[in-house]
Every structure is written in structure tokens, then in C-alpha cells.
Amino acid sequence: MAKVKQQTEQTFLQDLLDFQGSLNGKSEFLDEVRLKGAEEVRNTPFPTKKLEDWKFISLRDLYRDSYELASNLEVDFPDFSEHFLPESKESRLVFINGSFSAEHSSTKALPEEVVIGNIANLAAEGNEQLKEHLHKHADFEDDVFTSFNSAFLEDGAFIYVPKDVTVEAPVHLLFIQTDADKNYFTTSRTVVVADEDSEITLVEDHIGLGDNKYFNLPVVELNLEDRSFVKHTKIQRDSFEAIHIARTAASVAQHANYESYTITRGAKLSRNEPRIFQMDEEVEFTVDGLVLIDGDQVSDTHSVMDHRFSHAESHQLHKCVINGKAHSVFNGKIYVQKDAQKIDSFQENRNLLLSRKGLVNTKPQLEIFADDVVCTHGATVGQLEEDELFYLKSRGLDEQQARELLIYAFALETIENITVDSVQELLVDEVHRYTERQLDSELTV
Amino acid sequence: MLEIKDLHVCVEEDGTEILKGVNLTINKGEIHAIMGPNGSGKSTLSKAVAGHEAYEVTQGDILFEGESILELEPEERAHLGVFLAFQYPVEVPGVTNKTLLRQAYNTIAREQGREELDPLQFEDYAKDKLDLIDMKEEFLDRSINAGFSGGEKKRNEIFQMAVLNPKLSFLDETDSGLDIDALKTVANGINQIADEDKAVCLVTHYQRILDYVTPDHVHVMIDGKIAKSGDKDLAVKLEEQGYDWLTDVASVSVNGEQ
């Protein structure tokens, strides 16, 4: 990949490093991770539009404004229990502005042998599994945002599912971002390790309670050992003024299966970078996405599916609904390395553009160095068809109902694969609220 | 029930006039057939009655039960009891027949001041209607027309008509693309739905469906006008002699139908 030499742009994010040392002292292990992260941030420029991978979005808001460390702020927040999932009453970890909330969390439903908890506590206790796995799987070389997350790493979720253990209850990782007087930033880290023959379902849920500005930078590391199965649904419902930049890295070992669904609804600017690394032969993975944006929202997904060994089946269906002046960017890279034969990979980006001023940039990308593979990829941009709307209206549905049904139908392909019922239901509600909003003339433009 | 008076309709996009003064009266209990060559305006008439936005009424009126419906949205016409079976039914993958029809049924019921049905009641109600078109229960749970054969799509239109129970139904080329068995099934469905309180208008290119559904009135449409009206014998004559003997009256432009 060609690299453009960047000018070092001094951003507020670099100034923040001066305060980073104040977090030290509770765990030597975390101190080291942070120190190393801070060092990397000092040596790596923040990206600008001059870089190929960042050319479609502007990070000016992020660099220009000032943000405070979320854990330094005193905040009040309303009751948010409406966001609890009924399936996860006793399998939930809650983080409020990045800090663990024991009061709202419960892990009683999990088998005893599962290690689950918040990183700050586990690190203070000197948990060996945490040390073994934290910061080992987020393989983001030269990525300043991952380093920034490390530099300010205070807390987050850690789950280790031992060999042969199936966790029945879905684990709800609820990241609540509160309203606040000042802009703040939060850098949660989530580490999930599924040992051999284990199984777990995760719901990573980012919710902004207000309409305030903050910077949410979560990093998720997943390690799937042989024959393990991890289902991972991420729902991003951050405040419509927030900036959400996320990294998710999954290493998938032999006969393991990683299924992920990422739903993007919130944030003014969001960037998801899922990266899946095949660690051995015979793996399966899914990296589906659904984006519902309007107003002046920008959503960018840059994904990497790295097929490194023979025999893999991978699937990526990335669907976006764009309204108002919203802007959707998709760049999906599929690598098939030299000795990775018998790869079956599917990739498609489908966009439903509801307004004249909406914008879509899409770039499915294949880089294949093996010769015995089946890879399909493609991208489409379409609109709601007048004939489809007329058909439904002639059956008695009004404009709102008809549009909602068609958008729902478009979105369903992603939603229907999510196995947690209440998550499916809440996403149907999200689609409903989205179509309600999109009929607002201001947003439809 | 339906009174169409001197109806002139243009394609909104380019202003081409397609209907050039149609007069038609349909009373309740009647079955009408509108025949005519391709491009004569049959489909446009159906869509204009149902309220398709792409067609602009420039002159004349459409009265339903005595009131003009020109200003009404398609869904408002549906709420009054107007139904259009589409020539090319739209596919909506991901939404089941049941979901659409229950929503449609309940919306219409609400507008007409009738009782809405909960999911279980609706399922029982809809299942009864499946027999009319000889379809199995799983038909309800299939996505709307997605992956349906041509015949299944047409049967689905008649099924929707049976469920929504409209007062007036325009069936736009519901017979085209059907083999003889499917044609009989569809015709049988129409015959069972039609009763003395309802009106049905079959828009068709061919006479053959009229062997199974007997019309009270047959109209021939040529170049945007009704060129001749008569009883079922007119359809037979058209089948034998084609439309040429009528085209002396009006010149035919054959552009293929919309």
C-alpha cells in the first residue's frame, strides 16, 4: 500500500498526552500498556485527508475541538434501564463514560469458570489471563487511534470463555455515554477470548443519552481458538453530535466461526474498522453491516478480511440507507494470500439513497495472490422505486407505512440474522424511528 | 359505483396524452371487461383509477360512489374500497404477505370504522381466503412476490383482493402469462369474490379469461377512447375478427404498453 508522507499536524489529541501519566499507579501492567501507547502516539501523525484511506472524511472537528478525559468529569445521568436487554438480566457489564458501573452490572448467569469483569479491577488483581490477552490481538500496525486508546486505557470489558464452555445468555456490553457540560473522550477496550470448543454471544451496545459532543474511541480485540463460535452484534447509537472511531480485530483459528453484525445509527461522524485475520485453515467469518444515517451524518466503514490459509468461507454484506445530506463511505478489502487456496468469499455493499443530497462512496476491493478461489464482490446504489411505493399504497398503506416497509425490507437481511430477539425488536424500532425522522422535510432535502 | 366522465390523462413526465376522453359507468354487482390492443390505454385507465402519480388527469372526472376521487392519494382510494390487481406485481423481499396484508387490512378497517384483527384472528381470516386461489398456508409467510412464478404472482393479487375485500376491483391483465389451469384457478377466485355488492373490471388483451368469468359488459378501448361497448358477444367477435374492424373509427398507435 502506498504511503503518503504526512505533515505532522499538531492536534489537541497530542496535547492530551501530558495528562495521560495521571492514570498510572494502580496496575503496573496497565501503566506499561499506556506508556507504550503514548510513545506510539508521539511518533505517529494523526491521519488527514491526504491519506488514501481517509480521503473521504474530515476529522477537522476532532482535531480542532478540545476534549477532556471522561473519567475526570462529574456527571449526572437519568435512569437508563430501558436499554437493558431482557435476555441479559444477569449477563451484563455496564460502563458509564468508559468507567465500569458495578451497580448496573451483573454476571450471575455466566458459568463459574468464565472469567468476566472490568479491565481496571482485573488488572489491579493481577489477573493472568488479562495480561496474556490484552493488547495482543488488536493488530493495527501504525494505527494512531489504537495507540491513543492504549495511551488512555483505563477500563473496559474482559471475557475469557474456557475450553468446552458454552455461554447460553448473550452478554450485553453496554457503553453509556452521558450528557455533559464539556466535550469529553472515552477509550474503552474490550477483550474477548473464546478458548477451544467454546461459544458466546456478545451484544456491544454504545448509547448516547444526550445530544452532546464527545469522542468515543472503543477498541475490541477478539481471539477465537479452535472450533470456537463467537457471535458479535455491535449497535452504535451514540449522540448525533458524537464522533465514534472504532477498531475491532478478530483472530480466527481452525474450524472457528466469527459472526459479526454492526449496526450504525448514531454519531455525527463514525468510522468502523473491522479486521478479521484467518489464523489457520478451515474457518468461517461474517462481517455484515447495516448503516442508517440522515441529516449531516457521516459513516465510514473500512474493513479488512485477511485470508491467510486455505479453506475459508467469508461473507460481508454491508447495507446502507442514506437520507438528507448524509454521507456513507465503504471500503472493504479482501486479501487472499499466496497459499490460501479454496477460499470462498462474498462481499457486497448495497446502498439505498433516499435523498438527492445524500452521498455514497463505495470501493469493494479484492487483492488475490492465490489461484484457486471463488471471490465475488460488488456494490449497488438504488432508490425507493415509485412503483414499489405505489403498489403498497394501492393496498392502503400511507406514504410513511410504505416507505417504512421498504426500508425495513432492505434492512431486514442484516437484522434477521441476529439471534437475540430483543435486539431484533429494538432494531425494528430503530428503523421505525429512522423512517419517521426521514419524512421530516428538513432532513429529506 | 364508478363513473368516469370524459377522462383525459397525460404521462406527467413528457405530457403525452394517453386517455383522450373516456366515459365509463360501472354499477355494483356488475362485471366489466375492457379489451383493446397494446398501447390503447387500458393499463393507464386502471392506474388512473387507482391514483398512480405518474399519470396526470388534465380533464374530466372519476367519481366513486358519487364523489370525485381525483384529489385522493392511492391509499385513500384503497380505504374507500378501490383495488388494483397489478399487471406486474412488485416484489418486496423480506416482508411477508401476512405482514403487508394485516397492515393493509387493519388500516382499511380503521378507516372504514370496522374492527381491526389481531395477528391470530387475521391468520384465521386469511387462511380461509387461501382456498379461493388454491394456495397452501405457507403462502402467507412467503415474502411478497419474491421468487414467485408469474402464475403465483397473479394468484397472489387475487388473494390480496379476497383479503382486502374491496368494493371495486380493476384487474390489470391478471390473465396474461397464465397456463390454462392457473387461469381457471384465478377465474374461479374472481367468481367467488364477485357478488352483488361488488364490481369487477377485467382489463385484458385476450378473450380467453372471459370463457370462465362472464362479463355483463364488454368495452373496447382504442387510442385512448372507448370505441365500442356491448355484451359478452362483443368479446367473441373480437377474438374472431381482431380489432381491425374497429380501427377504421380511430387510428391506432402501437407503442407497446407502459
**pLDDT bracket for residue A438 (50, 70, 90):** low
- List, for residues B146-205, the tens digit of each pLDDT value: 889 888 899 999 999 999 999 999 999 998 888 888 899 889 989 988 888 999 999 998
The domain of B71 spans: 2-247
State whether residue B254 is helix, strand or coil. coil
Q: Give the chain B residue nearest A398 (alpha carbons).
A: B75
Cβ contact A396–B86 (<8 Å): no
The answer for residues whose C-beta is within 8 angstroms of residue A22's C-beta and 6 or more apart is none
**pLDDT bracket for residue A71 (50, 70, 90):** confident
Does residue B233 belong to any structural domain of this protein?
yes
d(CA B219, CA B36): 8
Does residue B150 belong to any structural domain of this protein?
yes
pLDDT of residue A139: 66
Burial of B17 (0-12, 13-18, 19+ CB in 10 A): middle
d(CA A186, CA A155): 10
Q: Give the chain A residue nearest B103 (alpha carbons).
A: A397
Exposure string of A76-101, with b = 16+ CB inside 10 Å and e = fewer, is eeeeeeebbbebbeebbbbbbbbbbe
| Interval A411-430 mean pLDDT | 91
d(CA A268, CA A239): 8
Mean pLDDT of chain A: 91
Q: Count CA within 13 A, CB hemisphere, residue A59.
A: 23
CA A445 to chain CA centroid, nearest Å: 29
The answer to whether residue A306 scores a pLDDT higher than 70 is yes
| Interval B108-129 mean pLDDT | 93
Burial of A432 (0-12, 13-18, 19+ CB in 10 A): middle
The answer for residues whose C-beta is within 8 angstroms of residue B138's C-beta and 6 or more apart is none
Cα dihedral A303/A309/A310/A316 (nearest 10): -10
Residue B120 has a CB neighbour count (10 Å cut-off) of 8
Do residues A193 and A161 lie in contact, with contact meaning Cβ atoms separated by under 8 Å? Answer: yes
- List, for residues A152-191, the tens digit of each pLDDT value: 999 999 999 999 999 999 999 999 999 999 999 999 999 9
pLDDT of residue A343: 92
Does residue B255 belong to any structural domain of this protein?
no
pLDDT of residue B237: 86
Residue B51 per-residue DSSP state: T
**pLDDT bracket for residue A3 (50, 70, 90):** very low
What phi, psi does B229 have (nearest 5°)? -125, 150
Do residues A155 and A210 lie in contact, with contact meaning Cβ atoms separated by under 8 Å? Answer: no
pLDDT of residue A444: 53
Number of domains in chain B: 1
Predicted TM-score (pTM) of the model is: 0.85
Residue A420 parent element (H or E): none
Q: Give the chain B residue nearest A388 (alpha carbons).
A: B90
The answer for residues whose C-beta is within 8 angstroms of residue B185's C-beta and 6 or more apart is B133, B134, B155
Q: Helix H segments across A57-163?
A: 60-64, 119-124, 128-133, 144-151
**pLDDT bracket for residue A111 (50, 70, 90):** very high
d(CA B153, CA B88): 8
**pLDDT bracket for residue A4 (50, 70, 90):** very low
pLDDT of residue A9: 56
What phi, psi does A27 have (nearest 5°)? -150, 120
Amino acid (one-letter) located at A392: L
- List, for residues B83-104, the tens digit of each pLDDT value: 999 999 999 888 889 999 999 9
**pLDDT bracket for residue B254 (50, 70, 90):** very low
- Cell (9 digits) for A266: 448514531
| Interval A299-308 mean pLDDT | 96
d(CA A139, CA A120): 22
Contacts of A432 in chain B (CB under 8 A): none
Determine contact: B123 vs chain A, CB below 8 A: no
The answer to whether residue B258 scores a pLDDT higher than 70 is no
CA-based nearest residue to A267, from A291, A232, A233, A303 = A291
Does residue B254 belong to any structural domain of this protein?
no
Interface mutation vs chain B, best among A390, A401, A403, A404, most B CBs within 10 Å: A390
Cβ contact A396–B104 (<8 Å): yes
CA-based nearest residue to B238, from B62, B34, B60 = B34
Domain of residue B112, CATH code: 3.40.50.300
- List, for residues A335-394, the tens digit of each pLDDT value: 999 989 999 999 999 999 998 899 999 999 999 999 899 999 999 999 988 889 999 999
Q: Report the gap between the CA of B28 and the closest CA in chain A (Å).
A: 21
The answer to whether residue B255 scores a pLDDT higher than 80 is no
- List, for residues B164-179, the tens digit of each pLDDT value: 999 999 999 998 888 8
In chain A, the percentage of residues whose pLDDT exceeds 70 is: 95
State whether residue A434 is helix, strand or coil. helix
Determine contact: B109 vs chain A, CB below 8 A: no
Residue B138 has a CB neighbour count (10 Å cut-off) of 9
In chain A, the percentage of residues whose pLDDT exceeds 90 is: 74
d(CA A111, CA A121): 20
pLDDT of residue B252: 46
Mean pLDDT of chain B: 89
The answer to whether residue B256 scores a pLDDT higher than 50 is no
d(CA B220, CA B193): 25
CA distances from B85 to A139, B203, B216 (A): 57, 10, 20
**pLDDT bracket for residue A439 (50, 70, 90):** low
Interface mutation vs chain A, best among B52, B75, B108, B167, most A CBs within 10 Å: B75
Determine contact: B213 vs chain A, CB below 8 A: no
**pLDDT bracket for residue A413 (50, 70, 90):** confident
Residue A351 has a CB neighbour count (10 Å cut-off) of 23
